[in-house]
């Protein structure tokens, strides 16, 4: 095993995670890893000897059957169900609204504690269905082509709020198993991508715990190969992602020189292309995954030349990779334009000829602003526009 990459500088995050438990009031069982659930059950009076079995039972009810009510947990004695109800809740964030695109994409506006809102997007495809989930409200990073990056307010989502997005989507898709029904192998929600709002590696523990729950075989049971985490390049957390989550990795590469990447993905000033590539090289082996996805947003006259394509191929030499070309999705006031189709195809061709898969991501849900980089919740939009109005008045 390669030694974990040590941080070259402390990771600064002006974000905070709200405590999982309010000082008073019942504990939410959603979002607790098995060990933590066990501890909580014991603290509430479950005999230690029974605790493991109780975790197994409750876990299955919550994550396999999608049950939210202790009374429905019929293999638990009534007094024990009452003890649970006195001490715990099974609580999810709330879907405030749902929009359905003409292409079937569903965008959920999800309200979390404190009145904040995040967006979750479900993308149906022929052979699978992908849920794009958020890990933070807004983002502390400021990639110049990303709508989320213009949103000011930020806090980390809790594990319950992250895995809760998966559970809410399963509710909406009607996908919890029915007792006695044959096991359905084709799932509507078969894949997760951490490509919604926020930088997942700036909320490492929250994302890790939520994904561990989603992968647990007694519950939602999604294979780690069906979960892809996208990072802008938080280098010190990459080896840890391999070791502690083990999911597939996508990286927002987007440029082939530090000069351009500094502008597009400003975190590059902290960890440049060379440092990023070094961390990526060990990822497939550490995580036992086949390859890394390099995301590359196609911006007209900024990063889309043949020269860029050739440089890209050279840079990633030796890394098992696929390059996902993302036509830029415009948003109100965005400072860039999408490269032409011809340009994107010419770029893809150079990469393909060098031996890499180079799929062009079809924008989904554009009519409801659900495409990559368009997410930004309505309350935050309103918040900002009120601030802008105030500034105008003062000016
Ligand atoms: N913060 C993480 C994950 C969320 S963004 C990250 O940056 O990787 C998911 C992907 O969409 C990233 O590759 C991001 O760079 C890309 N993206 C952001 N804004 C976009 C836009 N306007 N058009 C196309 N892709 C965009
Ligand atoms: Fe944040 Fe990712 Fe958007 Fe950059 S692209 S601002 S890291 S959400």
| Residue-wise pLDDT tens digits, 246-277 | 999 999 999 999 999 999 999 999 999 999 99
- What are the tokens at 104? 């079937």
Q: In a mutational test of the pocket of ligand 2, which residue from 199, 230, 251, 296 has the highest number of ligand atoms less than 8 Å from its CB?
A: 199
* Distance in Å, CA 148 to ligand 2 centroid: 6
pLDDT of residue 3: 39
Determine whether the annotation assigns residue 342 to a binding site.
no
Positions of the chain with pLDDT under 70: 1-24, 184-185, 372-395
Rounded to whole angstroms, how far apart are CA atoms 373 and 77? 48
Residues of the chain with CATH 3.20.20.70: 94-394
pLDDT of residue 378: 53
Placement of tokens 């994302």 in the chain? 207
pLDDT of residue 203: 97
CB 224 within 8 A of CB 259: no
Active site residues: 119, 372
* Distance in Å, CA 19 to ligand 2 centroid: 25
Among positive and negative, which fits the CA dihedral 20, 228, 348, 320?
positive
Contacts of 275 (CB under 8 A, 6+ apart): 8, 235
* Distance in Å, CA 253 to ligand 1 centroid: 10
Would the CB of 130 count as within 6 Å of ligand 1?
no
Determine whether the annotation assigns residue 199 to a binding site.
yes
CB 296 within 8 A of CB 261: no
pLDDT of residue 152: 75
Would the CB of 235 count as within 6 Å of ligand 2?
no
pLDDT of residue 360: 95
Determine whether the annotation assigns residue 139 to a binding site.
yes
Would the CB of 195 count as within 6 Å of ligand 1?
yes
Would the CB of 149 count as within 6 Å of ligand 1?
no
pLDDT of residue 312: 98
CB 17 within 8 A of CB 155: yes
CB 125 within 8 A of CB 132: no
Measure CA of the first residue to CA of the last residue in the chain; give whole Å.
59
Placement of tokens 């989550």 in the chain? 245
Rounded to whole angstroms, how far apart are CA atoms 267 and 237? 13
Q: Of all helices (H) and strands (E), which one includes residue 349?
A: helix 341-353
pLDDT of residue 326: 96
Q: Which CATH number fits domain 27-89: 1.10.150.530, 3.10.290.10, 3.10.450.50, 3.30.70.100?
A: 1.10.150.530
Class of domain 94-394: alpha beta
Q: For the segment 104-146, what is each residue's pLDDT rounded down to a tens digit? A: 999 999 999 999 999 999 999 999 999 999 999 999 999 999 9
């Amino acid at each position: 095993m390669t030694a974990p990459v040590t941080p070259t500088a402390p990771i600064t995050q002006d974000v905070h995670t709200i405590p999982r438990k309010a000082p008073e009031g019942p504990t939410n069982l959603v979002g607790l890893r098995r060990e933590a659930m066990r501890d909580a059950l014991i603290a509430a009076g479950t005999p230690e000897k029974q605790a493991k079995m109780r975790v197994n039972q409750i876990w299955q009810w919550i994550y396999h059957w999608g049950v939210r009510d202790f009374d429905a947990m019929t293999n638990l004695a009534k007094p024990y169900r009452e003890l649970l109800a006195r001490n715990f809740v099974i609580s999810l964030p709330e879907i405030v609204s749902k929009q359905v695109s003409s292409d079937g994409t569903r965008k959920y506006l999800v309200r979390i504690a404190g009145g904040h809102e995040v967006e979750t997007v479900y993308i149906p495809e022929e052979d699978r269905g992908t849920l794009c989930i958020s890990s933070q409200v807004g983002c502390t990073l400021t990639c110049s082509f990303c709508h989320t990056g213009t949103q000011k307010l930020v806090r980390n989502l809790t594990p319950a709020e992250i895995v809760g997005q998966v559970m809410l989507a399963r509710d909406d898709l009607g996908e919890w198993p029915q007792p006695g029904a044959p096991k359905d192998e084709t799932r509507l929600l078969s894949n997760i991508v951490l490509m919604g709002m926020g930088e997942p590696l700036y909320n490492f523990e929250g994302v890790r715990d939520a994904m561990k729950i989603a992968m647990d075989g007694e519950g939602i049971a999604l294979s780690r190969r069906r979960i892809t985490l996208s990072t802008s390049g938080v280098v010190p957390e990459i080896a840890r992602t391999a070791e502690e989550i083990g999911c597939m990795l996508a990286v927002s590469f987007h440029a082939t020189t530090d000069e351009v990447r500094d502008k597009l993905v400003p975190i590059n000033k902290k960890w440049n292309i060379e440092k990023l590539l070094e961390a990526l090289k060990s990822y497939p082996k550490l995580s036992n995954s086949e390859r890394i996805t390099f995301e590359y947003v196609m911006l007209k006259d900024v990063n889309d030349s043949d020269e860029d394509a050739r440089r890209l191929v050279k840079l990633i030499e030796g890394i098992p990779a696929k390059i996902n070309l993302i036509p830029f999705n415009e948003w109100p006031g965005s400072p860039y334009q999408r490269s032409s189709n011809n340009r994107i195809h010419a770029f893809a061709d150079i990469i393909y000829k060098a031996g890499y898969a180079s799929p062009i991501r079809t924008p989904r849900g554009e009519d409801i602003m659900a495409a990559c980089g368009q997410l930004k919740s309505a309350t935050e939009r309103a918040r900002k526009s009120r601030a802008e109005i105030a500034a105008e008045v003062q000016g």
